[in-house]
Structure 1
């Protein structure tokens, strides 16, 4: 299987809760476990045409020209050329991982998962909704007709939910902490968890959610948002899921997709553990599960 990654993701975001260095640490960890150059693929930036399938022209122009407007200032990130370029490159990375997964069953993007970005504004550390850009690109190229988003980040994927509302070709599922950011949008299926939900409770809810997805939709691709922030040690979270519980989460999602012969593209999304080593361990666990199940 392939890992999509670029060192250009490592941009300066200043003093910030988002641990941007996790990308390079996971890359180094995979190489230490025997992954070689042939296992990694470099992304290319998404084109304007790709981005306009999801985002408004006014918003994209503000973003590309670094204009601090009502459309861009809600990102909670600096607005710099380096960061905007990295966001557009990461959108291309998710597009590439999704495309590769169609032929190789699974691919992992060591990045992406910017599920809070809306069509016309930034939000929650997210400028470009790479998940939506990837799905719309594959649909426009007639590579797929139907997709599902399985969002297991701690925070609801409000931007993704809004983008695909009332679209029968894309099933959106989010399992998240209910009493946490953001203001919720309506997904096709939302499971809002109580504070301090533990491993077994979490996995029980997830099993139900997966069964509902595959009974109510017939996706040709799953994009799996494998956030590390449901972890009990996350600084922005309030769930009580262990590292082993998150490994079992990954096994459950990916094995269900494999059992049904549905390709799965994986993105990392959030993760804000007090110890960055824990966030990296969670993402590494996701990669190991994918390698075990998909080869």
Structure 2
């Protein structure tokens, strides 16, 4: 099983709630605890302009390339620098690579230690997201004929509004988002939206997700799945008011990945958000997701 990672994901965004050091810290934990070996890490190439154009408009990409502060770029809530844009383009390449690996390897599963930038729309940035790597990966791999039907299971604290909007008229891509209802962003329409009330607990979250997810799998029969494994439903996240524990988040990971694995659906994990007051908690949650993936990919998992 492979893990897609680049040190270039750690970018300078100044004083900011988005901890880009988490990518390096996750990699260090995975290797330091011998959960993975160095040869399981694969470095991505940047997505090409042609690949980005499967989702994003030429005008928007021109703004990014030329670092223009416009109506299309200004809602990113991030600086706009060459290093930052290159990191997002690289992350799109990372999700494409993760998909390629999941589709060809026996494990049928790969983890992108990055990505999940689900607030980016086709024509604009939003909410710490310049490029929607989820949508780019699906469109690129779909256009290569590697699958027809895909599913996005977005378990970040925030609704995957950009992804939902990009695929709203595309019957080949089924989108599910479970999120805190009373929070950013302005909602778009996913195929299934599960908006949870503030202070929702582990059991409330899992019960809501399980029924909807299992029905969607039966109805849509995806041939490829993207799991957006945000760490921010955690009870001590700075940007949210859900009340999930680390144990509850592990149960979430097990549910999503186990059901895909049992159906032999090639799947990728992307990390998305995570803004715990202690960065160690965010890293713990993401490492825990990786542990679940590793256990399922193991030949002894029996799945």
TM-score by length of 2: 0.96
2:49 paired residue number: 48
1:103 paired residue number: 104
1:114 maps to which of 106, 117, 120: 117
2:301 paired residue number: none
1:94 paired residue number: 95
The alpha-carbon deviation at position 230 of structure 1 amounts to 0.3
CA RMSD of aligned residues (A): 0.6
The alpha-carbon deviation at position 215 of structure 1 amounts to 2.3
1:74 paired residue number: 75
The alpha-carbon deviation at position 136 of structure 1 amounts to 0.3
2:262 maps to which of 256, 259, 264: 259
Runs of 4 or more above 2 Å deviation: none
Cα distance in 2 for partners of 1:18, 1:238 equals: 17
Cα distance in 2 for partners of 1:155, 1:18 equals: 14
Cα distance in 2 for partners of 1:179, 1:100 equals: 37
Matched, 1:195 2:193: no
Cα distance in 1 for partners of 2:207, 2:63 equals: 43
CA offsets 1:23-64 (integer angstroms, 9 cap, x no match): 000000010121222110000000000000100000000011
The alpha-carbon deviation at position 81 of structure 1 amounts to 0.2
CA offsets 1:86-140 (integer angstroms, 9 cap, x no match): 0000000011111111123100000000000000000000000000000000011
Secondary structure in structure 2 of the residue aligned to 1:49: helix
CA offsets 1:183-219 (integer angstroms, 9 cap, x no match): 0000000000010000011000110121121122011
Gap runs ≥5 in structure 2: 299-303
2:155 maps to which of 152, 158, 178: 152
Secondary structure in structure 1 of the residue aligned to 2:179: strand
Please say which of residues 30-39 and 195-204 is displaced more in the overlay: 30-39
Cα distance in 1 for partners of 2:38, 2:24 equals: 15
CA offsets 1:257-289 (integer angstroms, 9 cap, x no match): 011110110000000000000000000000000
Matched, 1:186 2:189: yes
Cα distance in 1 for partners of 2:215, 2:166 equals: 21
1:7 paired residue number: 7
2:284 paired residue number: 281
1:57 paired residue number: 58
Secondary structure in structure 1 of the residue aligned to 2:110: strand
Secondary structure in structure 2 of the residue aligned to 1:153: coil
Secondary structure in structure 2 of the residue aligned to 1:183: coil
Secondary structure in structure 1 of the residue aligned to 2:205: helix
Q: Aligned residues, how many?
A: 295
TM-score by length of 1: 0.99
